[in-house]
Amino acid sequence: MNIRTLILPDVHNKWQKAEKIIKHETPDKIVFLGDYFDDYGDDYRVATETAQWLAASIQQKNRIHIMGNHDTNYAFKDRSYKSSGYETAKDYAINSIIEEKDWRKLHLYTWVGDWLCSHAGVHMHFYATYGNKQDFKIWLKNICDQALVNAFGGEPADPILAAGVSRGGRQSHGGISWCDAHEFKPIENVNQIFGHTPHREPRYINKGSPLSKKYSSNLCLDVGNCNYYALHNDQTNKLDVKKYVDL
């Protein structure tokens, strides 16, 4: 059975655009790469509308929602998760609609074929430092599961969820929801798709030769509020990147 998966980067309140793309492409599955909230000039009223959309979207079984740094902003209480755009009024509005049980349905990553999809990508630093030569998929699941347990428990952000120095954090590189594309370093034989860092066009950050077993292809898909998106064909493992037009 051929499954078509639509991958949508940072929404930042432009959920109507996301819904137009979904209606146009009619995919079997949809993966959102996070950052549903916060944009220039928004307020608690805009946040309320986005929260209402997200609360309904989370309930749809063919949709996978990943957390971005502008979502952990509101999902977790410790100040180490706060980022630009955070406002107390928006926090109150969002969390009056989205309950903890809803936040717990969001993910830090998912796999689409052999592509690892997350908000900002996994920098090789984290696997090299904390992986202890474990299988990458097993390591990633364990470290992310524990990070979420700690976050929902009110503890400060684990390294995998913390900002790097480029975003005002204390660690050398940003974690899975914070890594900027200019600092990203690929992991051998792990293909990744992420958003977080806006560019004029989608940007590939590849490692090695495509003929090598250690090759990895990495795509930064954030081109400003869903202006580009990707479609993955499960049968062929082909990834098509498309530009948004007014649908």
User: pLDDT tens across 108-157, in order?
Assistant: 999 999 999 999 999 999 999 999 889 999 999 999 999 999 999 999 99
Pick the closest to residue 160 from 174, 181, 142 (CA basis).
Answer: 174
Q: 10 Å Cβ neighbour count for 247?
A: 11
CA atoms within 13 A on the CB side of 92: 6
Q: 10 Å Cβ neighbour count for 167?
A: 17
Q: Count of residues for the chain?
A: 247
* Backbone conformation region of residue 26, classed left if phi is above 0, alpha if psi is from -120 to 50, else beta: left
Q: In the prediction, which pLDDT does 3 show? A: 93
Could you report the per-residue pLDDT of 14-69, keeping only the tens digit for each?
999 999 999 999 999 999 999 999 998 899 999 999 999 999 999 999 999 999 99
Pick the closest to residue 183 from 111, 119, 121 (CA basis).
Answer: 121
Distances (CA, A) of 116 to 27, 108, 181, 219: 19, 11, 15, 10
Torsions phi, psi for 119 (to 5 deg): -70, -45
Q: Show the tokens assigned to 210.
A: 């495509």
Three-state secondary structure call for residue 246:
coil
The DSSP bridge pattern shows strands 218-220 and 203-204 to be antiparallel
Q: 10 Å Cβ neighbour count for 99?
A: 10
Range in 18-22, 35-39, 160-164, 235-239 the model is least confident about: 235-239
Structure confidence at residue 161 as a pLDDT band (50, 70, 90): very high
Q: Show the tokens assigned to 83.
A: 């980022």
The DSSP bridge pattern shows strands 228-233 and 238-243 to be antiparallel
For the chain, which domains are there?
Answer: 4-243 (3.60.21.10)
CB 31 within 8 A of CB 68: no
Three-state secondary structure call for residue 77:
coil
pTM score: 0.95
